[in-house]
Structure 1
Amino acid sequence: MATIDTNTAEHYNWGEDCDGWHLVRAPELSIIEERMPPGASEVRHYHAHARQFFYVLEGELHMEIDGDNHTLSTGQGIEIAPGQTHQAINRSGSPVRFLVTSQPSSHGDRILNPTC
């Protein structure tokens, strides 16, 4: 077993200039560190099977979950159950870094729901 961080993890880009690093990538569990610049957001969606937990490492993250708005600061997290429509948004003037834990992995389990 080797240690892992954003320098050694598999990296990918998503959305508008956002970054992701796969810290754990297995069918039964996914842990990703993500970075969103100011003004960036993900597409509103839900997962049929994956339960997720978003945890802010640095900055401020706005989460819309089933129409309810939550603002998470450094050291705060929120759980999202399967079937809950959600969208992460960085409304602050600084980048935000956060962890997304999914069980099972959310890859291939994302259902777009832009009208909610």
Structure 2
Amino acid sequence: MQKLLGLLLFAFPLVAFSQAPSACSVKDSLEAELAGLQRDYAVVEKKFHAMNQLNNSLMLVRKEFRDSALIAEIERFEVNYYSKFREIQRKNTEYLLGIQTIKAELEVLKKKCPDPID
């Protein structure tokens, strides 16, 4: 019984270790995840810049036109606009943090699993 228990205690770490993902497979999956995040970030970044331009245009309209009805309409629009803008800004920040985190992890993994030489 003790021999069997000893064998199991010796073999278990070997089995668990052999089933753990290798640094290269983790690196490959992180690179794929990074590519997806960068694509998504590019879309959000375009929306962010477009909304920023819209914000600048709204500020110009407010300065140029003193019509209270127009300003009231702009203010109603801005309530929805700013909540959407903050959401885009939050997503933009989340994507940037995710990209930076994955890049840092990849730097560590590249040392353990260098790119193959063609």
Shared fold per TM-score greater than 0.5: no
Structure with greater Cα Rg:
2
The alignment's TM-score, normalised by the length of structure 2, stands at: 0.19
